[in-house]
A and B are shown apart, each in its own frame.
Chain A
Amino acid sequence: MPDWLIALFHLLVFPGFGFLFLCALAFQWIDRRVAARLQGRVGPPWFQPLADLIKLLAKEDILPVGADELACAVLPMVSLAAVLTAGLLIPVSGWKPNSFEGDLVVVLFLLSIPMLAYFLAGWLSISVYSVVGGNRSLLQYFAYEVPFLMALGGTAIVNGSWSIASIAARQSQTVWTMLMQPVGFLVAMIGLIGKLKRAPFDIPKAKSEISAGPLTEFSGRKLALWYLSRDMQTVVGVFLLVNLFLGGSGAMLLPALSFVAKALLLLLMLSVASVLYARLRIDQLVDVGWKVLAPLALLQLLVTVWMGVG
């Protein structure tokens, strides 16, 4: 097969768009189903995420007068593109076609872009709810991002590489980073909830306070892209943590199976966390971020460095 065909396959099918798309739908369904069961509900049938997406794509696309139409059309695509690019760089069950030293930093950078797009969308779509939501998303970013980065950096230091694939591979020779850095893992999970704006950190889109936050004025195709980008971000975030903390696909016989099992485990943790608590206020989240998570992450980092030196 010619090289360009393989590259195209990677881009569009696996581990690119097609694969991430299916995972996004599947993850959304599992998440909704688990949350529903925990809340004593039935939950949606398996095709509901797809049906929702198709329905949104078919709906009328309107924006308020005065909104920046070009920016509002481009931003969801930027968000989706960044997530997809990040997805390409993350090894999936031993597949690492695009791995290079330092790709962890690139992925972390790419994963910040959706948040920036989200904030700008709120700022540019002319609605008081979306402006307040946009401000909140920026504040939230400052609350979770630093501890999140420190926790993920810790895994790179302990495994002696800044390539996600090598970090994952190294763990099959030693132990899972999660066991060496339990605190770091906890901080990373909480940071991920903040990054994905999931309950109880769904502060920028708290519907009882500010309708839908930055996305209040979006509808139709644009909203569908936002949702797709959000769901893919969940997938990429979970895959990233599986590689960094749970040893990726590991050295087991069925790498794909073990990878999927670990990813589902993390997803389950996210779902459970989303039904257990009341939504925090933004100032409370900033407090938690800087007074609890950041010191914990720092402590973990210091312990790691000290042990590495010792």
Chain B
Amino acid sequence: MNVDSILGALREAFPAVTLEFQPGLLDETFVVLSADCVHPAVRLLIERFDIRHLSTITGQDRGSEIELLYHFWDGRGLTLRTSLAREDSHIATVVDLIPGAAFYEREVSEMLGVTFDGHPDPRRLLLPEDWSGEPPLRQGDSAQFAEQDVPSPSIGTAIADSGHVVWAKDTGRMIIPIGPQHPLLKEPLSYLLTVEGELVTDESLRIGYVHRGIERLCQQRSYVQNIYLLERVCGICSHIHTTTYCQGVEALLGLEVPQRALHLRTLLCELERIHSHLLWLGVFSENIGFTTIFMYAWRDREITLDIMEELSGGRVSHAANVIGGVRTDVDKEQGHSILGRLEDLERQIETFRDVIRHERSFQMRTRELGHLSFEQVRSHCVVGPMARASGVDVDLRRDAPYAAYDGLDLRVVTAGGGDVWTRTQMRVQEIFESLHLCRQVLKELPGGPLTVRAPRRVPAGEVVSRAEAPRGELIYYIRSDGSERPARVKVRTPTMTALITLSEQLRGINIADVPAVIGGTDLCIACVDR
């Protein structure tokens, strides 16, 4: 991405408006626009520069106004910043240009009371239907929202009223609820599938059952306390959350983190990726009725969990990161023993690779299913393995190296199939790459201190921090106002992007394929809901 030419083009496009450019931390550029310029600016980015990846939209209450930040990514970060009036805040939707922005806008809308004009589906995303009163991330406007919000019926009432619990005999159509509680799901979300015969003709998604309001909680805790809070966003990829957060805060503080700490962070990140992919392989196999792979994958996943427990004391929540470094260490002997166990793990994963590649019944259940084209992935801003399986060559470990990835030999796995089978093969292939990275880190672990002293007070400023979680791009926006608590922490997890594509993947398929498609996207609902 050539920032100068983009800025030039924007200046040319809006000669009457004064544009402001602010270079930010971690190679991010901020462009300040007025609200009515956002839609044309996004169109310009897409048409002139082919920048389609909108990472997320952050909304925040800046006191006098509501501020929106559109975080784009194309090799570097570009953020469009705009402000809306407090009273009656509204802005034109960008969903017509970027379909993947639908969920981002719905979230901003309910959290900050912003109306997106022209949004095709302006329902609640995370909050309950009968939530009334002030939007959670806005402060001091309860009077404005008190009368305005009429509670809509909850989803349970809506189904009961529609009479669809029993099938409609005349049309042969019925609604099959998947969730909030269902054997398919490990975490609560709710799908209402409209089914004719065995074919899914329509679907409706509801999330938010595990919404814990973590973003708001972050504003009430100190920077250090937030590490432990954000670790609990996700029960699978907890370490990548603290890594991304610490990296952001360290950038605000201007800290230089010791190399040894960065390497250890990387080691844990990769172990976590292996554990996450194996966990997924197990859950997915169980979804398509292949219990044996499930048992084997979860058995072998224990190896990584044991190593992580040895390193940090925790199997899932490691609390390994501190601002300015890590608090865990590996000695020579331990490193040697870990290398040996990774050897065993690799042999097991070779078995998995052979089984899922050659087993007929596995292929019958996964091939030509849940297909996403290159264009669909781009327009829905899909990230991570899902995007790479459709031929989009993106991996932040290589494209925006963080932690110690810069000095490591990293091969990004991509494939062109775009179906569930390709995603399966690709994720297993990624485990080998992660093992390769783990070995490099353990062999080339530099000496030196584990932490640098971090000052208690974080200077005012803002930062966009990105990292490659097991499921793809994870993005944090952190703003400090110089006090001891962050003024805003925004988290966008990769599963959010996968969820948007599910509606297209689900329509027109067999009910029996629903578990394979939902499983194939590797959802982490706790991450999405936060």
Chain A contacts to B: CB under 8 angstroms: 38-41, 66, 126, 128-129, 131-132, 135, 199-200, 202-203, 206-211, 275-284
Contacts and interface: CB of A to CB of B under 8 A. Distances in A.
Given A41-B295, A278-B290, 14 more contacts: A40-B299, A132-B195, A208-B287, A208-B515, A208-B519, A209-B184, A275-B291, A277-B360, A279-B365, A280-B361, A281-B365, A282-B510, A282-B512, A283-B198
A203 B288 CA distance: 10
B365 A207 contact: no
Given A66-B166, A128-B176, A131-B167, A40 B289 contact: no
Nearest to A212: B183
Q: What 6 A-B pairs are tightest by C-beta distance, nearest first?
A: A279-B289, A278-B290, A39-B295, A277-B361, A208-B515, A278-B361
Interface of B: 165-167, 174-177, 182-184, 195, 198, 285-292, 295-296, 299, 359-362, 364-365, 510-515, 519
A283 B289 contact: no
A208 B167 contact: no
Contacts of A276: 292
7 contacts: A128-B165, A128-B177, A132-B198, A207-B184, A208-B288, A279-B288, A281-B364
B198 A208 contact: no
A208 B184 contact: yes
B174 A128 contact: yes
Contacts of A284: 364
A229 to B, nearest CB: 22
Contacts of A135: 198
A104 B27 CA distance: 79
B303 to A, nearest CB: 13
Nearest to B195: A132
A282 B198 CA distance: 9
B284 to A, nearest CB: 10
Contact of B512 (A38, A126, A209): A209
Contacts of B176: 128-129, 132, 210
B292 A280 contact: no
Interface centre among A66, A211, A283 (most CB of B within 10 A): A211
A278 B289 contact: yes
A243 to B, nearest CB: 30
A93 B167 CA distance: 49
A207 B285 contact: no
A206 B514 CA distance: 12
A287 to B, nearest CB: 10
A40 B290 contact: no
Contact of B183 (A66, A211, A279, A280): A211
B173 to A, nearest CB: 11
Contacts of A209: 184, 511-512, 514-515
A131 B174 contact: yes
A278 B365 contact: yes
Given A40-B295, A126-B166, A128-B167, A279 B175 contact: no
A202 B511 contact: no
A198 B133 CA distance: 53
